Copies of this chain bind each other. A is one copy, B any other.
Amino acid sequence: MNALGKHLLLELKGCNKEVLNDLSFLKEALLAAANEAGATVLGESFHRFNPQGVSGVVVITESHLFIHTWPEYGYAAADIFTCGDSVQPEKAAEILIKKLGSKNHSITEIRRGILDI
């Protein structure tokens, strides 16, 4: 089954709550995850909410990574969307799980762009 893109949906529960509210830490974590996966970073956009929570995205040549955090619940949703064979999104997932200290996570893999070609 050929697909243009591989999309990993991470449900990260039981995370370190302080980390989930730390924009700088999360930006570094996403950039580190992108680099570890072998991706090329094109741009990023991060925002911290009041009273809490962070949203951030890193656009890569091979697609994107994003994270949305709910520190009050120790929860983060993260996506790693990649295309091509030169990147290893699973490595990015491992890094995020570790850096956020998630004690309870799930990863759902979805193939995007399954075409009759």
**Residues on A facing B (Cβ under 8 Å):** 4-5, 7, 9, 11, 13, 42-45, 47, 49, 55-57, 59, 61, 63-64, 66, 68, 70, 73, 75, 77, 79, 81, 83, 108, 110, 112-113, 115, 117
Each complex incorporates copies of this chain amounting to: 2
**B68 and A83 within 8 A (CB):** yes
Least CB distance, A45 to chain B, in whole angstroms: 4
- Judged by DSSP, the binding face of A is strand
Least CB distance, A59 to chain B, in whole angstroms: 5
**A75 and B4 within 8 A (CB):** yes
Least CB distance, A64 to chain B, in whole angstroms: 6
Nearest B residue to A75, CB-CB: B113
Task: Give the docked Cα–Cα distance between A5 and B9 (Å).
Answer: 13
With A45-B43, A63-B55 already in contact, the answer to whether A11 and B70 are too (CB < 8 A) is: no
With A4-B75, A13-B115 already in contact, the answer to whether A64 and B70 are too (CB < 8 A) is: no
